[in-house]
């Protein structure tokens, strides 16, 4: 009787991952259960469709560009061969979720996983090196996420402090989000009705009673807020000094700007798998149908595998065809983006060419009028992110402006941010978090502010504005230019300065209409 021929394996392109910078505590139990997301190629390329500016419904997109049945079947066969269970199949999102034991995943993808502990005491599963797949899946599988579940991104918010003490509403120059919308001249006679704003969160939670009190104080009807669980993550509020600050900031800012919009918060684990699964689910959500997505979490490009950068960017491409605008925070530690290697870094996902990268300013206003607005940069290098991507090449819409070469590599990359708004915690946003009145800033606040603005604009248009970059770069007059300041950090002594027109600190400036 002949033996079954074993499949030849090949390396999965761009899947190499460095070992965690953490203490290895032990090998994992072989019987431990885990989940992995396998990303599959599209039925056909979307590149030509992107250039034409075509728009598709979610149903049309799934039929034309989702995963093919025959590709899904091959992944299912592979899973069954290795004693793995197919938990979920998302054709439009091109994702197959697999469940199984550690030992079976190690055998299936030819990896070795171990348990690690970071400096915060958090334990996680980690791997290093490349992932392997059977040769017959070489041109089908584009990414495998979840073998490694190390904490991945950080929220881009900062709480206003004075000599180490948190500043409350009453002792700071700060603004209510709806007040900022008026100062900036956001569209009048619009409240976001008929729109859905998706918010991605990788931790923390919100309390309904806080939202009720906050919007009652603003004399605004309490927005509809729904929590969606991704990869078993939950709305999990605890205390004001946690990621709850990010969650409440995002909801309260977006809700105050567009109170009639439906807000859907997608809670996911803080891993590359959780992050990608949440974004994919929000983009392709045929029930809630978000027209704009706010992301206030990220990390320097150097911390992402090429596999992640490519697969996230492919998801953002899909959003552009669906008419979904993605707004993401550009970072809160100036040109270093919190890295300590002395180099400048662009933050991802805001460095994606298909994302509206949101930078930060310092705003001084009184009686509804702007006195001054400059690049956000405080003495402790609390400053707006921005710069030039070392991975994504210069997009077509930026070829008519002077984007500098990357300081690190001299690569002619995508420049960011695209727009900016108030982000300095010392001129920050009044919010309520776990019963505490705080002032919070950071480019984290700009992403939901811009998402709220897009919801207002969409309400007044025949269809959602979607991928706004070509329009934004064709008409600089859509923004109010910020020309003073820089994001040069003390750790790098390098960075970028504001200038007339687009710059790598505040982009085109403050957007108020399209």
Distance CA(381)–CA(367), nearest Å, equals: 30
Among 134, 492, 116, 98, which residue's Cα sits nearest to residue 333?
A: 492
Question: Are the beta carbons of 96 and 76 closer than 8 angstroms?
Answer: yes
Distance CA(356)–CA(417), nearest Å, equals: 7
Distance CA(320)–CA(501), nearest Å, equals: 25
What are 116's strand-pairing partners? 24, 124
Structure tokens at 171: 């002792």
Distance CA(306)–CA(153), nearest Å, equals: 16
For CA atoms 60, 65, 70, 74, give the dihedral sign: negative
Distance CA(320)–CA(195), nearest Å, equals: 17
Q: Which of 351, 444, 464, 512 is catalytic?
A: 444
For CA atoms 72, 15, 393, 279, give the dihedral sign: positive
Burial of 93 (C-beta count, 10 Å sphere; 0-12/13-18/19+): buried
Distance CA(217)–CA(357), nearest Å, equals: 31
- In the residue annotation, 444 being an active-site residue is answered as yes
**What 3-state DSSP class applies to 123?**
strand
Burial of 379 (C-beta count, 10 Å sphere; 0-12/13-18/19+): exposed
Helix or strand run (H / E) with residue 429: strand 429-433
Q: Name 426's Cβ contacts closer than 8 Å, sequence gap at least 6.
A: 160, 172, 173, 362, 378, 441
CA R_g for the chain: 22
Q: Which of 231, 250, 272, 434 is catalytic?
A: 250
Distance CA(177)–CA(214), nearest Å, equals: 11
Q: Which of 130, 149, 246, 277 is catalytic?
A: 246
Distance CA(394)–CA(449), nearest Å, equals: 26
Q: Name 46's Cβ contacts closer than 8 Å, sequence gap at least 6.
A: 65, 317, 318, 321
Structure tokens at 388: 């030039």
Q: Which residues are catalytic?
A: 246, 250, 444
């Amino acid at each position: 009787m002949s033996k079954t021929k074993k499949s030849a394996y090949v390396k999965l392109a761009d899947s190499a991952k460095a070992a965690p910078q953490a203490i290895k505590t032990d090998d994992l139990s072989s019987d431990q259960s885990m989940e992995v997301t396998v990303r599959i190629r599209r039925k056909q390329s979307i590149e030509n469709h992107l250039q034409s500016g075509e728009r598709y419904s979610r149903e049309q997109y799934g039929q034309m560009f989702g995963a093919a049945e025959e590709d899904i079947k091959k992944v299912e066969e592979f899973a069954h061969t290795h004693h793995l269970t197919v938990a979920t199949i998302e054709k439009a999102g091109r994702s197959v979720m697999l469940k199984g034991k550690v030992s079976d995943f190690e055998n299936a993808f030819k990896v070795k996983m171990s348990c690690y502990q970071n400096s915060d005491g958090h334990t996680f599963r980690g791997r290093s090196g490349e992932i392997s797949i059977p040769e017959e899946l070489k041109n089908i599988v584009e990414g495998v996420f979840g073998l490694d579940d190390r904490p991945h991104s950080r929220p881009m918010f900062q709480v206003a402090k004075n000599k180490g003490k948190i500043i409350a509403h009453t002792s700071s120059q700060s603004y209510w989000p709806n007040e900022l919308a008026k100062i900036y001249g956001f569209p009048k006679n619009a409240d976001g009705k008929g729109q859905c704003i998706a918010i991605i969160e990788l931790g923390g939670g919100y309390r309904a009673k806080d939202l009720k009190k906050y919007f009652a104080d603003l004399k605004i009807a309490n927005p509809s807020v729904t929590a969606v669980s991704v990869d078993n993550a939950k709305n999990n509020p605890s205390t004001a000094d946690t990621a709850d600050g990010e969650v409440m900031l995002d909801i309260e800012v977006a809700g105050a700007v567009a109170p009639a919009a439906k807000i859907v918060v997608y809670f996911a684990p803080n891993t590359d798998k959780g992050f990608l699964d949440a974004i994919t689910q929000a983009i392709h959500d045929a029930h809630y149908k978000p027209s704009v997505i706010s992301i206030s979490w990220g990390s320097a490009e150097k911390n992402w595998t090429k596999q992640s950068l490519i697969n996230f960017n492919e998801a953002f491409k899909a959003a552009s065809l669906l008419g979904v605008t993605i707004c993401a925070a550009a970072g809160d530690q100036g040109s270093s983006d919190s890295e300590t290697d002395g180099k400048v870094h662009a933050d991802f996902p805001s460095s994606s060419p298909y994302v509206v990268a949101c930078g930060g300013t310092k705003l001084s206003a009184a009686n509804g009028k702007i006195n001054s607005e400059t690049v956000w940069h405080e003495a402790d290098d609390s400053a707006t992110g921005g710069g030039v991507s070392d991975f994504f090449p210069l997009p077509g819409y930026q070829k008519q402006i002077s984007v500098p070469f990357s300081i690190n590599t001299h690569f002619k990359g995508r420049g960011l941010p695209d727009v900016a708004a108030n982000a300095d915690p010392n001129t920050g946003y009044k919010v309520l978090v776990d019963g505490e009145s705080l002032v919070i800033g950071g480019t984290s606040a700009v992403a939901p502010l811009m998402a709220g603005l897009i919801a207002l604009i969409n309400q007044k248009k025949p269809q959602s504005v979607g991928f706004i970059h070509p329009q934004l770069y064709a008409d600089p007059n859509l923004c109010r230019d910020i020309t003073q300041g820089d994001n040069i950090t003390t750790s790098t002594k390098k960075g970028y300065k504001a200038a007339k027109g687009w710059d790598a600190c505040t982009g085109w400036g403050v957007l108020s209409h399209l």
